[in-house]
Structure 1
């Protein structure tokens, strides 16, 4: 890596890989969820992740690089945790599983927020204003998804899990 542009492309590729891995597990989390509002939020989440992947791929290709150029080991670990704790764990209460699904989803989302935020900052520093605007749009959507999960947890799922 020679400069900030190289770092930017590397991190966009890493983010693309993170999105690809998280999208696949979010679909499985949606299937496992019992609360209809949670299922709906997870469905919106995996659609948003897919949209983010398309945006990232188009930006990376515009810089003559391959979006598939990296494998995100950080998300690989988070996906393994989500699989183990939300899908393979034996739950006697569906509400408790739903609370765990939210927990695991939010961990992955927070990783994505960090990735989008760093890439946006790099794009801004490199005066790639169009890239920064596109990244910012998806960063905002990602924050919204996180806020939706927090609201679901606070406004019912955690209460149901506690009883």
Structure 2
């Protein structure tokens, strides 16, 4: 697709974010299974549901604009997923708490990518006077921020301390 205006950028980035979410969902499930801490496992279960919810909302926005949500492949998330698998799952980490700390690190990197995507899309929607889209994207952005904060609380509330011991 040729990019000629902000609407085209918006459509392209909706598709890119859908791809990013789709790619991150599988590895987020894997990271959750590899986690040891009970709170962390629960947070990952909720994170997977949050990703599914976000994907559904982005897919609906794509459909509302007459574009295929599967029209892009996000190379940025592809790299982050590869890193999450290499470091969070494939790395030889002998301490379960240290693995949990690494798992949180890898997940938060992917989450920050999603936060950037949702934030930009919301700004585009607002500029394009797509108020309903902007509200949906604000909800998605808030959910990402909340998930990120929850992971930080789990890390600083015990996982990092246990990993340092």
TM-score class, shorter-chain normalisation, is over 0.9
1:122-161 correspondence to structure 2 within 5 Å = 122-161=124-163
Q: Does 1:115 align with 2:117?
A: yes
Quote how far apart the aligned CAs of 1:91 are.
1.1
1:1-163 correspondence to structure 2 within 5 Å = 1-163=3-165
Distance in 1 between residues matched to 2:157 and 2:67, nearest whole Å:
44
**Structure-1-length-normalised TM-score:** 0.99
Say what the alpha-carbon RMSD is for the aligned residues. 0.4
Q: 4+ residue stretches of structure 1 with deviation over 4 A?
A: none
| Count of residue correspondences | 163
User: For structure 1, which runs of at least 5 residues remain unmatched after alignment?
Assistant: none
Distance in 2 between residues matched to 1:86 and 1:74, nearest whole Å:
18
Quote how far apart the aligned CAs of 1:15 are.
0.2
Deviations 1:88-147 (A, max 9, x none): 111110000000000000000000000000000000000000000000001001000000
Quote how far apart the aligned CAs of 1:80 are.
0.2
User: For structure 2, which runs of at least 5 residues remain unmatched after alignment?
Assistant: none
